[in-house]
Amino acid sequence: MATRVWLPALLLAFLLASSPFTQVARAQSDSDSEEDAATAEVVEGADLGIVGDDTQVSSDGPLSPAPGVETVCVFPKNAGKIVPAGEETELLVGLQNEGESTLNVVAVHSTLHLPYDHRMYGQNLTVQKFFNASVPVSVQATFPYTFVVSKFLQPGAYDLVGYIVYEIDQHPYQNVFYNGTIEVVEAGGLLSVESVFLITLGIALLGLFGLWAYGQVQQLSKKTKKAPKVELGTGTTDANIDEWLEGTSFAQRSKSKKKQT
């Protein structure tokens, strides 16, 4: 009898340990039956609403996180956090409720900032609302969040700040699930306009350098061909030799040879 009691408990503990962010948030419409509500474990596609980028999450002031609530963020199959402008980017928000009461997730939203100054907004991104998404105590849940960066945004590095808003006993709270850098790139190609421009400029500079080097070589070859020949004079040299040999037997022989001729 004791074995039957401990076996399910050990199995449950193993499943919880092997899945740090098991998708167990109850999110379903009011028309779902109570049985479906008790067994629903996945938040994706169930009673979530996507509203415009300019929609603000209602609150009277800055919200703080609730004690015992922890969050984490994962970019599925996107370790480099590459975000194509104008296309949907999905991330997963993991939430663990270690507080004292069940919490209800209200919405997930994010903002884009310039990396050197968070006071300068690049864009307010999509606000994604959830309905009836409750997370009981000691339960972990995963919420999908999809956002779109404006296609007119200049490619480069930006800071993304993501928030998840929830209620406990009708009091709103908020956690920052991500505060880091993403890389915005142009959609539809591996090369951006700036990359193409830089490559073209580099090729043009190499071409100009090649023409300049070719011209220098041509000028050097022309100068080498036009160099005048140096003629060595022999008259002065012969006179000096005769003066040096005068009075020697070689000079007398030369004179006798000239007389004979």
Q: What is the structure's pLDDT at 31?
A: 33
Confidence class of residue 34 from pLDDT cuts 50, 70 and 90?
very low
Q: Are residues 208 and 146 in the same domain?
A: no
The mean per-residue pLDDT over the stretch 227-240 comes to 56
Supply the CATH number for residue 46's domain: 2.60.40.10
Give me the pLDDT at residue 197, please: 76
Model confidence at 131: pLDDT above 70: yes
203 and 220 housed in the same domain:
yes
Query: Is residue 97 one of the residues assigned to a domain?
Result: yes
Residue 216 vs residue 173, higher pLDDT = 173
pLDDT surpasses 60 at 178: yes
Highest mean pLDDT among 7-11, 54-58, 87-91: 87-91
The helix/strand/coil state of 229 is coil
Q: Given a cut of 50, is residue 162 above it in pLDDT? A: yes
What residues pair up with 236 in beta bridges, in sequence order?
none
Residue 191 pLDDT greater than 60, yes or no: no
CB 69 within 8 A of CB 135: no
Mean pLDDT across 200-210: 90
Same domain for 73 and 36?
A: yes
Q: Considering the chain, what is the average pLDDT of its residues? A: 74
Residues sharing a CB contact under 8 Å with residue 48, sequence separation 6 or more, in sequence order: 27, 128, 129, 130, 131, 133, 144
What range does the domain containing 209 cover?
191-227
Same domain, 202 and 245: no
CA–CA separation, 237 vs 33, rounded Å? 126
Say whether pLDDT at 8 is over 50.
Answer: no
Whole-model pTM above 0.75?
A: no
